[in-house]
Chains A and B, each alone.
Chain A
């Protein structure tokens, strides 16, 4: 009996100890103990060109990243101390493409990828949309609610560049695409919806423009280039939508006398009615308040 009690006491202590020890966070795979040096904040080097290159990797982010169980050397070669630095956007994309071949192929055909190949540093590549930092070590899966490529966050992610007027004017994109999207039925539905996947059955940027294979709207291959393509794209969700349905789209612009003029005139007419009627009502109410107050004060 005494033996049994002792057995229980040790067993209990063992389980408690196990729980205490195992409450640590998930740890990223690090077969070569890279993080023992590179996990130190401020770890850096000076390269041949005299630039200071940070060699620090935020362990807390790697621990929760999509690739936490893929060892450092999978991407950083077997001899990681013998590589050219710093990396470029193109070399980053190439590295992702060694595993994500299909996405890489599409990316290279996209407007972003074509510009990337020309050495344009402005354009988005893998990490810009898939990592919140954007740092390749903190890439997270698109089904995580805080992923930049999670459905609810996509418009905000695109807006990082496409809502930057100074940057966009270089590419002839003068439309306020983000603001006009947020004003639209789709934008409001996504904006007001929750993060639940079921609540996100609404179109965002990538649904019409494509994601990895996103094309310039001037490219005839774009799903939104020309009314015929646009109508086909609308029909993906709006079954039976015809060309008239697509033609009602204001094209990320405000209605004006050049852009679907009847809508512009409808705006003007209703604005005039709204302002004049409300102003008229306000005058009557204000004068009435004055009179009622005077009458009451005189009593």
Chain B
């Protein structure tokens, strides 16, 4: 094997090199969010669809409604902790470390054009996919959907978790409205994650069977060039200017 690698052209080796895309904090945040979300869905769905036989069975698997409810509450606190961790991380990276990348998640008019071009490509009106920088529109949409969804879920969830306290400070309608908001927003998040997030990160040709970048933090250079060509170009150019430092981009590019 060693001889094979040595025999390969130098350009090919660089192609197989990995580019760091996420740091350890981002990996932890995604994992925490994913796990707490899964538990919340598993314990929340039987409450929304209480009349179904499968819900009755599933509640029995957990060991009763009290256990299911307690687990839902526990997972909610974990999710809140992950979100606070993310807020702290944002403040630290943007204002103290002054890294440029978190700012790149902010949507721009270019994202709408990118979406339009991407769907045009899918429909066959354009020959190639749009060129993407650090984040594509789907990644931005996922992020901001969560950014909107989390306060909705936390506020409505905690109103229902502490209804007596909540109605001391809030008007009476807050309680039934919280149930509506919590239930619908949860369905939105679940359907979006299952339909769009899972599809593009597991079933799109470049990701199948799984896009592992959010778990390892690394993406192969070839894939990076395909999926984030604009950022790839910038990384490799900077790297070339600073000398042959391998595929690792300089610290401040992500």
Say yes or no for A99: interface residue by CB 8 A criterion: no
Say yes or no for A26: interface residue by CB 8 A criterion: no
Partner of B164, one of A188, A193, A241, A260: A241
In angstroms, how far is the closest chain B Cβ from the Cβ of A94? 39
Interface of A is mostly: helix
Partner of B122, one of A240, A249, A273, A290: A290
Q: How far is B181's CA from A261's CA once the two chains are assembled, in angstroms? A: 14
Given contact pairs A267-B180, A285-B195, A244 touches B123 in the complex (Cβ within 8 A): no
CB pair A291–B122 under 8 Å, yes or no, is yes
Partner of A192, one of B65, B164, B181: B65
Q: How far is B199's CA from A284's CA once the two chains are assembled, in angstroms? A: 11
Given contact pairs A248-B174, A288-B204, A291-B123, A242 touches B167 in the complex (Cβ within 8 A): yes
Interface of B is mostly: helix
Cβ–Cβ < 8 Å partners of A247 in chain B? 172
CB pair B180–A287 under 8 Å, yes or no, is no
Q: Which residues in chain A, 253-278, are within 8 Å of chain B measured between CB atoms?
A: 255, 260-263, 266-267, 270-271, 273-274, 277-278
Q: How far is B50's CA from A192's CA once the two chains are assembled, in angstroms? A: 6
Given contact pairs A271-B184, A278-B192, A292 touches B64 in the complex (Cβ within 8 A): no
Say yes or no for B171: interface residue by CB 8 A criterion: yes
With CB as the reference atom, state the residue of chain B lying closest to A291. Answer: B122
Q: How far is B96's CA from A34's CA once the two chains are assembled, in angstroms? A: 93
Partner of B50, one of A182, A281, A285, A294: A182
Q: Interface size for chain B: under 10, 10 to 19, 20 to 34, or 35 or more residues?
A: 35 or more
CB pair A266–B181 under 8 Å, yes or no, is yes
Q: How far is B163's CA from A240's CA once the two chains are assembled, in angstroms? A: 10
Say yes or no for A238: interface residue by CB 8 A criterion: yes
Q: Which residues in chain B, 113-162, are within 8 Å of chain A measured between CB atoms?
A: 115, 118-119, 121-124, 145
In order of increasing CB-CB distance, the 5 nearest A-B pairs are A247-B172, A270-B184, A287-B122, A248-B175, A291-B122
> A residues engaging B (CB < 8 A)?
182, 185, 187-189, 191-194, 199, 238-242, 244-250, 255, 260-263, 266-267, 270-271, 273-274, 277-278, 281-285, 287-288, 290-292, 294-296
Question: Can you name 26 A-B pairs with beta carbons within 8 Å?
Answer: A192-B46, A199-B65, A239-B164, A240-B164, A242-B167, A244-B167, A244-B168, A244-B172, A245-B167, A245-B175, A260-B172, A266-B181, A267-B180, A270-B180, A270-B181, A271-B184, A277-B145, A278-B188, A281-B191, A282-B195, A284-B118, A287-B119, A288-B122, A288-B200, A288-B204, A292-B204
